[in-house]
Amino acid sequence: MYDRKTVRRRRAVLGLLVAGALILLTAYFGESAGGGLHSVQRGVFSIVSPIQDGASRALKPIRDAVGWVGDTFSAKGQLADLRKQRDQLRQNVASGEEALRENARLQGLLNLDTTLNLKQYSPVSARVIGVSPTVWFATVNIDSGTGDGVRTDMPVINDAGLVGKVSVAASDAAKVSLITDSSVQVSVRVAQSGVSGLVQASVGNPDDLLMRYTSKRDRVLPGQRVVTAGTTSSRLESPYPPGILVGTVTHVDDAGTDAQVVHVVPAADMHRLEFVQVLTRKLNGNRP
Amino acid sequence: MTAPTPRLVFRLTLLGVVAVIVQVAAVGQLEIFGADADLVPLVVASAGFLCGSLTGAVYGFAVGLFLDIALVQTMGVSSLLELTVGYGAGRVRELRDPQGALVPVALGAGATAVAAIGFSLIQFLLGADAPVSWILVSDILITILINAAIAIPVYAVVRRWLTPALPDDPRRRRRRAYTTGGLSPLSRS
User: Chain A to chain B, count of Cβ pairs less than 8 Å apart?
Assistant: 167
B-contacting residues in A 65-84 (Cβ below 8 Å):
66-67, 70
Give the helix, strand, coil percentages of chain A, each rounded to 5: 40, 25, 35
Q: For residue A272, give the chain B residue with the closest CA.
A: B29
Binary contact (A25, B77; C-beta < 8 A): yes
Q: Per DSSP, which regions of A154-244 are E strands? A: 155-157, 162-169, 174-178, 185-190, 196-201, 209-212, 225-228
Burial of B89 (0-12, 13-18, 19+ CB in 10 A): buried
Is residue A94's pLDDT more than 70? no
Contact between A250 and A261 under an 8 Å Cβ cutoff? The reply is no
Cβ contacts (< 8 Å) between A8 and chain B: which residues? none
Distance between CA atoms of A178 and A157, rounded to whole angstroms?
A: 10
**A19 and chain B: CB distance < 8 Å anywhere?**
no
Is residue A133's pLDDT more than 70? no
Residue B43 pLDDT class (50, 70, 90 cuts):
very high
Cβ contacts (< 8 Å) between A52 and chain B: which residues? 21, 24-25, 70
Q: For residue A53, give the chain B residue with the closest CA.
A: B25
Per-residue pLDDT averaged across B7-17, rounded?
93
Residue A95 pLDDT class (50, 70, 90 cuts):
low
Binary contact (B80, A135; C-beta < 8 A): no
Distance between CA atoms of A162 and A276, rounded to whole angstroms?
A: 10
Quote the percentage of chain A above a pLDDT of 70. 87
- Residue A176 dihedral angles phi and psi, to the nearest 5°: -110, 120
Residue A87 pLDDT class (50, 70, 90 cuts):
confident
Quick check: ipTM above 0.90?
no
Is residue B120's pLDDT more than 60? yes
pLDDT digits (tens, 9 = 90+) for A194-214: 888 999 888 767 788 999 888
Is residue B187's pLDDT more than 70? no
What is the reported pLDDT for A250? 92
**A12 and chain B: CB distance < 8 Å anywhere?**
no
Cβ contacts (< 8 Å) between B127 and chain A: which residues? none
Distance from CA of residue B52 to its chain's centroid?
12
Cβ contacts (< 8 Å) between A132 and chain B: which residues? 24, 28, 71, 73
Is residue B10's pLDDT more than 90? yes
